[in-house]
Amino acid sequence: MTSRALVLALLVATAACGGDAPGAARPANLLLLSVDTLRQDRCSAYGHDRPTTPRLARLAAEGLRFDDAFAPTSTTGPSHASLFTGLFPVAHRVVRNGLVLDERHRTLAESLRDAGWRTAGIASSFVLEERFGYAQGFDVWQDEFSVSGSSMRLAEWHGEETDGGFDRRATATAKRAVRWLETHGDDGPWFLFAHWFDPHNPYDPPPAHAVRFPPRGAGVVPEAVARYEAEIAYTDEQIGVVLDALDRLGLAEDTLVLLVADHGEELMDHGHMEHGVHIYDETVRVPMIARWPGRLPAGVVVSGPVELADVPPTVRGLLGVAEVGDGDGTGDAPDVQGRDLSAAWRAGAALDPDHAVLLHRRHYEPRTEGTIAVAGEGFGLRVGGWKLVVAEEEGRRELYDLAADPGETVDLSAREPERAARLARRLADLLAERARGGDAEDTVDEDGLRRLEALGYTK
């Protein structure tokens, strides 16, 4: 018996003894789909009035649709680091793109691989290249972009040489995913991660999709938004190709499908077109849909905050994989910070409405992005119908009443200084707790600690 088979046999025996999870004796597969730059309210699966995501709508009808799902940041690398580790950016310290996710962090792929799952990942942008640490735990990580990309061409990015391409179109991602499922689908359990990059700028949809989304109004912004929506529709179609393959191969019943996005897109709501510079809701509220026939309820809309960092512990809970160790044997990795929501997901129950969502604005050297001046890191706290946004180096402290002003247009920090101060204290406490991550100074580099101290964020 191979070690992989032995681990599986032990796992199956353990699960069978557990008794209360029907069907848990047969380990299930995980298909994790991460769509880059997918703003929740631009998905028809979430009520958008143009048919951008019919396949996601069908997936939601067959599973759970989470309405209050949040990315921890509006930046690709840091968000994926949280999705993979269950840690917040102040703990994993990937606080901008181009930094390396430290090997000591324990990823979802590592825990599934060690429990006997075959693992494979398809990255569709150079941002998630293996050299940045995202391939940890994957037997195979596909990150070659020289031939299959969009109009984006960069020879160099964050000081790193590319292979000439920067990204992969959805058609190519779908082909790779389907080929992998055809080859390994029957050899489960497996974990396949597929990243989709097309909604990210540049917005250059295939012509067949572009014609279906004519601009609503004249001008550069309506034209760009229309192309963005066409890119979403193209991605949705290609995700459908993969879901069809699951059906065709008879794998759908034994596969937990989880679809998320790493962040949204601003589309000029707060003076910027893309993402990264702000953490207003249009850039951090993301779609999240989970389908697992017979194991998760179908057609249920779940309210209450859920975060990308909740994904690793929740998925481990659903698949019956106990987490042990921290990956590298040194015992120095921080404890997972996301919540195991598997019981609530199985019940299709609403999530704790008072859960505080911690947000992180990526680090910038002082500069101007578009027309927005950015400097250092920023943070946000979203709790009890209110949202505080602070970026001390930019002199930004804003307070929004989300119930009365969901678009975050009227800053109430001057009118409600006591509430702002109360939330700032709570944010500081939460940041300090998450920065330490049960692992004290090691989690945050010295420079990071100094910055947090300067902001009054450590005690």
**Interatomic CA distance for residues 168 and 146, integer angstroms:** 9
Number of residues that bind Zn ion (CB under 5 A): 3
**Pick 36 or 439: Cβ nearer Zn ion:** 36
**Pick 77 or 380: Cβ nearer Zn ion:** 77
Two structure tokens written together for 169 = 């179109």
Two structure tokens written together for 430 = 């939460």
Which range touches Zn ion (CB under 5 A), out of 163-171, 258-266, 302-310, 318-326?
258-266
Q: How far is the CB of 131 from Zn ion (least distance, A)?
A: 17
**Pick 15 or 122: Cβ nearer Zn ion:** 122
Q: Which of 262, 274, 323, 377 binds Zn ion (CB under 5 A)?
A: 262
**Pick 283 or 337: Cβ nearer Zn ion:** 283
Q: How far is the CB of 84 from Zn ion (least distance, A)?
A: 14
Picking from 320, 291, 274, 352, the residue whose alpha carbon sits closest to that of residue 76 is 274
The β-bridge relationship of strands 140-142 and 118-122 is parallel
Which range touches Zn ion (CB under 5 A), out of 12-20, 56-64, 76-84, 380-388?
76-84
By CB under 5 A, is residue 68 in contact with Zn ion? no
Q: How far is the CB of 60 from Zn ion (least distance, A)?
A: 22
Q: How far is the CB of 140 from Zn ion (least distance, A)?
A: 22
Which range touches Zn ion (CB under 5 A), out of 259-267, 276-284, 322-330, 359-367?
259-267
Which range touches Zn ion (CB under 5 A), out of 19-27, 217-225, 262-270, 340-348?
262-270
**Pick 36 or 326: Cβ nearer Zn ion:** 36
**Pick 75 or 238: Cβ nearer Zn ion:** 75
By CB under 5 A, is residue 231 in contact with Zn ion? no
By CB under 5 A, is residue 76 in contact with Zn ion? yes
Give whole-number Cα distances, 299 to 29, 34, 57, 59, 70, in Å.
21, 21, 10, 9, 20
By CB under 5 A, is residue 340 in contact with Zn ion? no
By CB under 5 A, is residue 198 in contact with Zn ion? no
Q: How far is the CB of 206 from Zn ion (least distance, A)?
A: 20
By CB under 5 A, is residue 142 in contact with Zn ion? no
Nearest residue to Zn ion, by Cβ distance, number only? 76
Q: How far is the CB of 12 from Zn ion (least distance, A)?
A: 37
**Interatomic CA distance for residues 232 and 118, integer angstroms:** 30
Q: How far is the CB of 413 from Zn ion (least distance, A)?
A: 29
**Pick 169 or 339: Cβ nearer Zn ion:** 169
Binding mask 13-52 for Zn ion (x = CB under 5 A): -----------------------x----------------
Q: What is the 3-state secondary structure (H, E, C) of the chain?
A: CCHHHHHHHHHHHHHHHHCCCCCCCCCCEEEEEEECCCCHHHCHHHCCCCCCCHHHHHHHHCCEEECCEECCCCCHHHHHHHHHHCCCHHHHCCCCCCCCCCCCCCCHHHHHHHCCCEEEEECCEHHHCHHHCCCCCCCEEECCCCCCCCCCCCCEECCEECCCCCECCHHHHHHHHHHHHHHHCCCCCEEEEEEECCCCCCCCCCHHHHCCCCCCCCCHHHHHHHHHHHHHHHHHHHHHHHHHHHHHCCCHHHEEEEEEECCCCCCCCCCCCCCCCCCCHHHHECCEEEECCCCCCCCEEECCCEEHHHHHHHHHHHHCCCCCCCCCCCCCCCCCCCCCCHHHHHHCCCCCCCCCEEEEEEEEEEEEECCEEEEEEEEEEEECCEEEEEEHHHCEEEEEECCCCCCCCCCCCCCCHHHHHHHHHHHHHHHHHHHHCCCHHHHCCHHHHHHHHHCCCCC
Two structure tokens written together for 389 = 């946004």
**Pick 36 or 110: Cβ nearer Zn ion:** 36
By CB under 5 A, is residue 307 in contact with Zn ion? no
Q: How far is the CB of 73 from Zn ion (least distance, A)?
A: 9
**Pick 112 or 128: Cβ nearer Zn ion:** 128
Q: How far is the CB of 39 from Zn ion (least distance, A)?
A: 11
Question: Amino acid identity of 434?
Answer: R
Q: How far is the CB of 126 from Zn ion (least distance, A)?
A: 12
**Interatomic CA distance for residues 41 and 48, integer angstroms:** 6
**Pick 225 or 251: Cβ nearer Zn ion:** 225
Q: How far is the CB of 34 from Zn ion (least distance, A)?
A: 9
By CB under 5 A, is residue 283 in contact with Zn ion? no
Which range touches Zn ion (CB under 5 A), out of 176-184, 260-268, 327-335, 359-367?
260-268
**Pick 71 or 112: Cβ nearer Zn ion:** 71
Binding residues for Zn ion (CB under 5 A): 36, 76, 262
